[in-house]
Amino acid sequence: MKLEGEIVGQNLFLRSLDIQDANSNYLSWLQDDEVTRHLEIRFNPPSSILDLKDLISRLNSSPDCLMLGIFLKKKSLHLGNIKLGPINFHHKTAEIGLLIGAREEWGKGHGSEAIELISTYAFKVLNISKLTAGCYASNKGSLRAFSKVGFKVEGRRISQIISGNHREDAILLGKSNPVIKVLKVN
């Protein structure tokens, strides 16, 4: 699915990616072992700009996935992506995935701002009740970014992921729509 317009924050804006966004810089992120070490795309990264264009087209045509580029407002610099999906419209749930590809922008709070922007959009526009995310236990930056905007650790899958030459835990995170009241059953 594609977003009409932009989601604008203090330092960033989010927008749907277009074929024109498939460039050598973006492709280099997906082929960089350091950038993708905590992402599943590392197992099958696009090998060419044509493959990257195909990936963007497939995600934009998906009925239950919203892939957005993360851009710095000052420079219009594409620094990463954030994905909302799969979206389950029946249960009103969705998962968030995050990639900050521009290494020079790591540690500057962009991940947290992008997560907050997409969360607000999901809750207010798409009427999502619950958002989830997951990260490798060793991915302290991702855990910090999600925690900073109100996601709580809901579980831990012990030795769930192969990372390099060892197994590690997967951390499961969640955040509920603050305007949705939890039903209590007596």
Taking only the tens place, the pLDDT of each residue in 143-179 is 999 999 999 999 999 999 988 889 999 999 999 997 7
Full residue range of the structural domain in which residue 136 is found = 6-176
**Cβ neighbours, 10 Å, residue 5:** 9
Residue 186: inside a domain = no
H or E segment and range at residue 18: none
Please give the average per-residue pLDDT across 126-134, as a whole number: 96
CA distance 158 to 93: 24
Residue 66: inside a domain = yes
Please give the average per-residue pLDDT across 44-68, as a whole number: 92
Q: In this structure, what token pair is assigned to residue 18?
A: 């277009």
- pLDDT for residue 88: 97
- pLDDT for residue 167: 95
Residue 94: inside a domain = yes
Q: In this structure, what token pair is assigned to residue 23?
A: 């460039």
Please give the average per-residue pLDDT across 39-68, as a whole number: 90
Q: The dihedral of CA 27, 32, 36, 42: what is its sign?
A: positive
- pLDDT for residue 35: 86
User: How many structural domains are present in the chain?
Assistant: 1
Residue 119: inside a domain = yes
3-state secondary structure of 83: strand
Question: For residue 145, what is the domain's CATH number?
Answer: 3.40.630.30
Report whether pLDDT(180) > 80. no
> 3-state secondary structure string, 145-173?
HHHHCCCEEEEEEEEEEEECCEEEEEEEE
Classify strands 77-88 and 166-176 as parallel, antiparallel or unpaired.
Answer: unpaired
Residue 118: inside a domain = yes
Residue 79: inside a domain = yes
- 147 closest CA partner among 111, 108, 103: 111
pLDDT grade for 41, boundaries at 50, 70 and 90: confident
Report whether pLDDT(185) > 70. no
Residue 95: inside a domain = yes
